[in-house]
Amino acid sequence: MDRLIYFDYAATTPVRREAVDAMMDALGRFGNPSSRYEYARQAAQRVREDREAVAKAFGCSPAELFFTSCGTEGDNWAIRRGVEANRRKGKHIVTTAVEHAAVLETCKDLERQGYEVTYLKPDRAGRVTVEQLAAALRPDTALVSMMLVNNETGAILPVAECVKAVKAFDPAILFHCDAVQGFLKTPEPLVKLGADLVAISGHKVGGPKGIGALYIKKGVRLRPLLTGGGQEEGLRSGTEATAQIAGFAAAVRANVAAPGRLERTAAMKEYALEQLKAALPKLEVISAGDVPHICAITLPGYKSEVIVRVLGDQGVCVSSGSACHKGKPSHVFAAMGLPKRWLDGALRLSFSPDTTREEADALTRALRDAAGSLFTTLS
Ligand code: PLP
């Protein structure tokens, strides 16, 4: 395979050069930030600076940002410990049917422990409304969990408005937001959402896998998910992953220092969709996506997992939905009420500021050829 034509940036991103360099440096300077001599203090100082960089991009104080091992850990921590903190209020949770498995499976686990969960159903565009959420709130609601950007459709959910509605109903209800696909992909700093708890992840923004962060708003009290040596102000034990943290922060700094990256990404997505629609008359757009980097299309009558495999054999990487589905039909597209033929042929395309027109043209050619050859095989 000569060259990778990559359209799966929502699954993960290439680790940026700046992140690799920062990680190599941190791996070399291996001190444990908790040790008490100068060499270790230097490591602690670097973690402090890295936390400041991520917090600045988020818009919060460094004291409100806690490093985790991934977005999934942040979601688990926020939801499990959030409902526990509010257990006197009741055992009702509100979320949406389009959340990532990190939230949905956590909610299902809590259902098995006696919690009741309301799943808001999306419309055909994958969106839910403030009115739907307001109607679902109850006196015993302990926590609301709503993602900012859906990882399969690219739809933006009205999180800021929903936070206001929830807090007007009862300020004690905790609001968690999975912003893994929204961090550095939307123009506003995420602190402006007003949520109590927000999870983000490093590998979606050019950082390494195995690092994320949970924002815990000042004043919100959350017990740790991991107990042990008391790192992260006693809230997330485990020796700091200094290299992962350095890579995450370097990627964040590089994103922040790249003006026009969102506009470039959006322009590439628009170009690719135009080319695809012109080359494949049967193609339907499920969602053009509100964020610059994600859209969803379908080729009704085809099987997306077959298309993904045929394209993959040629080095063209697309996804048949979230990378976490492992071949199962997308619960997001199903919740949107798409016809079965649309569900079967659904593909997610995701972009970066570095995506080129040549890559979009190569994707178009590969998809047109795959559709042509599969049609011949099928008929
Ligand atoms: N939430 C959303 C919306 C995601 O897209 C993902 C990853 O695909 C996650 C959570 C999980 O993040 P991580 O892979 O860092 O655990």
Return the sign of the alpha-carbon dihedral for residues 272, 12, 151, 242. negative
As a whole number of Å, the CA-based R_g of the chain is 21
Mean pLDDT score of the chain: 95
The label of the residue with tokens 């990256």 reads 261
First-to-last CA distance in the chain? Answer: 30
Q: Is 198 in the pocket of ligand 1 (CB under 6 A)?
A: no
pLDDT-based confidence at residue 372 (cuts at 50, 70, 90): confident
Q: Considering 60, 107, 162, 324, which one is annotated as catalytic? A: 324
Q: Quick check: is 324 catalytic? A: yes
Structural domains present in the chain: 17-256 (3.40.640.10), 260-378 (3.90.1150.10)
Please state the atom number of ligand 1 nearest to the C-alpha of residue 209: 15
Residue 373 has pLDDT above 90, yes or no: no
Beta-carbon-side half-sphere exposure of residue 262 (alpha carbons within 13 Å) = 11
Q: What is the pTM assigned to this prediction?
A: 0.97
pLDDT-based confidence at residue 264 (cuts at 50, 70, 90): very high
Residue 377 has pLDDT above 70, yes or no: no
Q: What is the pLDDT of residues 86-127, one digit of tens each?
A: 999 999 999 999 999 999 999 999 999 999 999 999 999 999
Among candidate residues 120, 84, 114, 81, the one with its CA nearest the CA of residue 99? 120
Q: How far is the CA of 116 from the CAs of 74, 79, 90, in angstroms?
A: 21, 13, 9
CA 324 to centroid of ligand 1, rounded, Å = 9
Ligand 1 pocket test, candidate residues 185, 204, 290, most atoms within 8 A of CB: 204
Name, in order, each residue with C-beta under 8 angstroms of 99's C-beta and a sequence gap of 6 or more. 107, 145, 146, 147, 178
CA 155 to centroid of ligand 1, rounded, Å = 15
pLDDT at 379: 44
